[in-house]
């Protein structure tokens, strides 16, 4: 394990309203763009609540799992199970890489020095900002390639996404959705539901790997904190969903990407 937990607070002492409010704010940001907001939650866990990198990643992963479990039924209500089921080969293709990637990513995270992990997280925040911009662009087109080349690309991309999701503690929708749209020509609404079906088992694999190194000590010590913030994130995401379309993408998306880039700079400078 990294030396992260030596510097992490054993238990958060922040008031419940503050924790819930922070989770709700993150949920609103994510909900406005159709995501869970975990990419915004991670720097908040480090910067505001004082968790060290690895501890923040594990808490973020736990909250992401709760949000995905809550979002899945409502998402399936919005997009019929038959429609999602008709694209099951896409989910299987991506899972072929993401499950292994999640195990590898979690293995790397628990072995990294904390200073290295902060820099890796900063780089991945930049990646998330780029993915956010690409996802909401109207210029995505499906590349021409053979069936087996597409399958191999799906496995390779899934592997990379699994690594990123495990290291950052996110569900990975920010990367999965544009991948599904671009690589498999699935409409973005259905892609959102498929991404949840890929995210859930991918997160469980990462959890299984983290649990082997005693990394869950921070989760046990902060279970109430985790549940309260996850509840806030879920409520916020629902509220943010109601605001979908209220703010034009031409303003909202660059602003959110800028938040991620500023967070990346702060993480890169974190000691």
Is the pLDDT at 262 greater than 70, yes or no? yes
What secondary structure letter does DSSP report for 8?
S
Q: What is the pLDDT of residue 245?
A: 65
Residue with tokens 């509840």: 231
Helices (H), 79-222: 81-85, 88-111, 114-135, 147-168, 173-184, 188-211, 217-221
Average pLDDT over residues 112-120: 91
Highest mean pLDDT: which range of 97-111, 173-187, 224-238: 97-111
* C-alpha dihedral, 175 to 167 to 152 to 198, nearest 10°: -60
Highest mean pLDDT: which range of 92-106, 161-175, 224-238: 92-106
The pLDDT tens digits for 158-167 are 999 999 999 9
Q: What is the pLDDT of residue 244?
A: 65
Q: What is the pLDDT of residue 1?
A: 45
Average pLDDT over residues 44-62: 91
Buried b (16+ CB within 10 A) or exposed e, 199-211: beebbebbbebbe
C-beta separation of 31 from 5 below 8 A:
no
Percent of the residues in the chain that have a pLDDT greater than 70, as a whole number: 89
Average pLDDT over residues 139-143: 63
Q: What is the pLDDT of residue 8?
A: 46
d(CA 101, CA 70): 24
């Amino acid at each position: 394990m990294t030396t992260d937990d030596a510097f992490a607070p054993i238990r958060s002492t922040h008031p419940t309203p503050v924790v819930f409010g922070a989770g709700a704010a993150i949920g609103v940001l994510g909900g406005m763009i159709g995501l869970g907001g975990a990419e915004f939650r991670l720097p908040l866990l480090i910067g505001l609540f004082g968790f060290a990198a690895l501890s923040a990643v594990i808490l973020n992963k736990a909250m992401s799992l709760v949000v995905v479990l809550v979002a899945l039924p409502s998402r399936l209500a919005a997009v019929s199970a038959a429609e999602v089921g008709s694209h099951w080969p896409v989910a299987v293709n991506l899972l072929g890489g993401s499950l292994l990637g999640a195990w590898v990513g979690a293995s790397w995270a628990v072995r990294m020095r904390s200073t290295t992990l902060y820099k890796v997280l900063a780089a991945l925040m930049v990646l998330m900002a780029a993915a956010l911009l690409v996802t909401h662009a109207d210029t995505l087109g499906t590349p021409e390639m053979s069936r087996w080349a597409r399958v191999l690309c799906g496995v390779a991309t899934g592997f990379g996404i699994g690594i990123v999701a495990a290291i950052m503690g996110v569900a990975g929708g920010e990367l999965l959705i544009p991948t599904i749209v671009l690589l498999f020509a699935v409409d973005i609404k259905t892609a959102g539901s498929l991404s949840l079906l890929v995210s859930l088992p991918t997160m469980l694999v990462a959890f299984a790997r983290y649990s082997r190194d005693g990394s869950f000590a921070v989760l046990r010590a902060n279970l109430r904190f985790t549940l309260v913030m996850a509840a806030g994130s879920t409520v916020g995401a629902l509220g943010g969903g109601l605001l979908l379309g209220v703010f034009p993408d031409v303003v909202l998306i660059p602003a959110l990407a800028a938040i991620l880039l500023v967070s990346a700079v702060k993480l890169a400078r974190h000691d």
